[in-house]
């Protein structure tokens, strides 16, 4: 199963690494890929168990305060 989430606040590869790492720590996540749109709205592809919006938002906050669901 996979789901896509639109995320604001990513500006570079460093941001992609932070967000990917935080999401991969969630139980059931097997893979995270991100289509980066610097200073725009990026698409985050999450494979594995379907996650709640709350869990995704908490992981984004852990990665950094500027990463938010669009």
The SS3 of residue 25 is coil
Assigned CATH for 2-69: 3.30.70.100
* Per-residue pLDDT tens digits for 42-56: 999 999 999 999 999
CB 33 within 8 Å of CB 67: no
pLDDT, the chain, mean: 96
* Per-residue pLDDT tens digits for 5-55: 999 999 999 999 999 999 999 999 999 999 999 999 999 999 999 999 999
pLDDT at 59: 97
CB 35 within 8 Å of CB 16: no
């Amino acid at each position: 199963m996979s789901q896509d989430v639109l995320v604001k606040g990513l500006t570079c590869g460093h941001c992609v690494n932070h967000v990917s790492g935080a999401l991969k720590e969630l139980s059931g996540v097997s893979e995270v890929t991100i289509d980066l749109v610097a200073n725009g709205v990026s698409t985050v592809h999450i494979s594995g168990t379907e996650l709640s919006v709350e869990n995704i938002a908490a992981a984004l906050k852990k990665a950094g305060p500027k990463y938010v669901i669009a």
